[in-house]
Structure formats: structure tokens, C-alpha cells
Amino acid sequence: MIELQNVAYNYGGGELLSDISLRLAPGSFHFLTGPSGAGKTTLLKLCYLELAPTSGRVSLFEQPGTGFSRDDVARARRRIGVVHQDCQFLDHLPLYDNVALPLTVSGKDVSAEQTNISELLKWVGLEDHAGALPPSLSGGERQRAALARAVVMSPDIVLADEPTGNIDWEMGQRLLQLLIELNKMGKTILIATHDLNLIRTAKSKVAARVLRINNRRLQLAGADL
């Protein structure tokens, strides 16, 4: 579904990522780890074409990204849900409208999706906060809202950048379980995280492949992780 072949990316005059090859197969579950500044967020952005590689090739859904028109990129991104690390929302809109925003932008009839949106908010435990403005939400609530917004279009792939980075352990486990449930529904999951305890917990629940960025290259993490 997403494939990187010998990808390199230069940033600030130096090489941040080098000779990266990665294939996210349908229904697979991956973790991406590595120290801060190693390039985890950059790699995710390469996966959904927010960034273009300095060299190498990125393919989405069996099509080379280099041949994509702007409309092609937009269509491909509708099949990819992204949970950003900073969880940005439109503060003047209630939570319900923020979660529905991808539907609005894509031109879908949001009113026809009301039941699905309400069920999604219930699924992430935010049904009582549908009318709340984003500044009133806690960190954990914002993370759950970001996940709901990422999957409202029923994407084939979910990319999550440090989704548990600013919340407590209990809430992190809840978010992890939501992502595992999505994987059981056939979604492809890639989570970038520095939280090794989260990864160890997940590996007891799901067949997850753990990758590590080390010295600009991507490696399969050892069994002792």
C-alpha cells in the first residue's frame, strides 16, 4: 500500500535519512522508533507525500508518487489517516465539526454521516464532548479526537506520530487498543513512538513489526526490545 525504495532525504544541508526501504502491506501493523531527531516524523511525511524524497521512490497504492498530479495526491491522502503529533484543531469549531472536517473538505454531505460521526465519537469516549471547543479539552481528549478525525473517512492506512507522547500511561493504553482494533478491521497501522514500554505491551496483543531509525538508516529492531 505504501512502499519506499532506497529513499534518502536531505535537510538543512545534510542527509537525515539514507537508503530507506519500507513496505507497508495491507493489514500490517508497524512501529517506528528511534531517538529524537532521528527522522521519524520526516519518514511519516514521506509516506503520505507531504515531503518528496531527495532520491529514491515512494509509491502509494501501487502507483509511483512522482507521477501523481495534485488531484492524485489528494485522492491518495483520503485513503490515509494521519494523527499528527501536535493535534491541531480549529479552535472556533466544536469538536464534532473538527472531527467531521475531512468529510467537509472532501465535499461529502456531513449531515448524511451524522450517525457515523456520533458512533465514532462514542468509540473514542468523547460522545459527551461533541459540542466542546478544542481549548477546553485535555491532552488525552485531544489525542482521542485526533484519532477520530484521522479515521472518519475510513482510511485504508493510519499513520500516527507519537500518539501517546503527551498523555498518561492509562490513556496511552486506551489509544493503543483503539489502534489495535482498527488493525483487526483490516487497516494498516504505522505508529512512530519513542515509548518502548508501549511497544512491548502491543507486541503481546498484536503481530507488530518494530523498525528503528539508526544512523539515518532503517533497521528491524531486535527481539530484545
CATH of the domain at 216: 3.40.50.300
Domain presence at residue 97: no
Q: Tens digit of pLDDT for each residue in 32-41? A: 999 888 999 9
The whole model's pTM is what? Answer: 0.91
**Cα-Cα-Cα-Cα dihedral sign, residues 66, 68, 73, 76:** negative
Domain presence at residue 11: yes
Domain presence at residue 55: yes
Q: Tens digit of pLDDT for each residue in 95-117? A: 999 999 999 988 888 888 899 89
Contact 18, 217 (CB under 8 A): yes
Cα dihedral 95/98/102/107 (nearest 10): 100
Contact 199, 193 (CB under 8 A): yes
What is the rounded CA–CA span in Å between residue 134 and residue 132? 6
Domain presence at residue 145: no
Domain presence at residue 103: no
Domain presence at residue 119: no
Count of structural domains within the chain: 1
Q: Tens digit of pLDDT for each residue in 150-182? A: 999 989 999 999 888 777 788 788 888 889 999
Contact 95, 128 (CB under 8 A): no
User: Would the pLDDT of 223 be above 60?
Assistant: no
Of the given ranges (2-16, 20-34, 59-73), which has the lowest mean pLDDT?
59-73
Q: Which amino acid is at 123?
A: W
Distances 200 to 61, 143, 197, 206, 209 between C-alpha atoms, Å: 30, 21, 5, 10, 11
At residue 6 the predicted structure's pLDDT band, cuts being 50, 70 and 90, is very high
- Please report which helix (H) or strand (E) contains residue 19, including its range: strand 14-24
Residue 188's DSSP bridge partners are 157
Residue 225 confidence (pLDDT):
58
Q: Three-state SS across 21-84?
A: EEEECCCCEEEEECCCCCCHHHHHHHHCCCCCCCEEEEEECCEEHHHCCHHHHHHHHCCEEEEC
Which domain does 6 fall in, by range?
A: 2-79+155-220
Domain presence at residue 100: no
Hey, what's the cell of 33? 522508533
Hey, what's the cell of 143? 489525542
